[in-house]
Amino acid sequence: MLILNKRDSIQDPVDNLFYNLSLFLFQKISSYSVSHKTIF
């Protein structure tokens, strides 16, 4: 999992997009793993 610095990503629209996407995916994976009791 990539740890992105939000302060840096705001400066670049592309980086900001990747930050939002990775955050969204992380939340989806987290909720999925919790609901299915899977540990990543």
pLDDT for the residue 29: 85
Taking the C-alpha atoms of 16, 18, 23 and 27 in order, what is their torsion angle to the nearest 10 degrees? 150
Round to the nearest angstrom and report the end-to-end CA distance of the chain: 11
pLDDT for the residue 14: 79
pLDDT for the residue 9: 46
pLDDT confidence band for 38 (50 / 70 / 90): low
Q: Residues in the chain, how many?
A: 40
pLDDT in tens, 9-34: 456 777 788 888 999 999 988 888 77
Confirm whether pTM is higher than 0.85. Answer: no
Which residues, including other chains, have CB under 8 Å from residue 25's CB and lie 6 or more apart?
A: none
pLDDT for the residue 7: 58
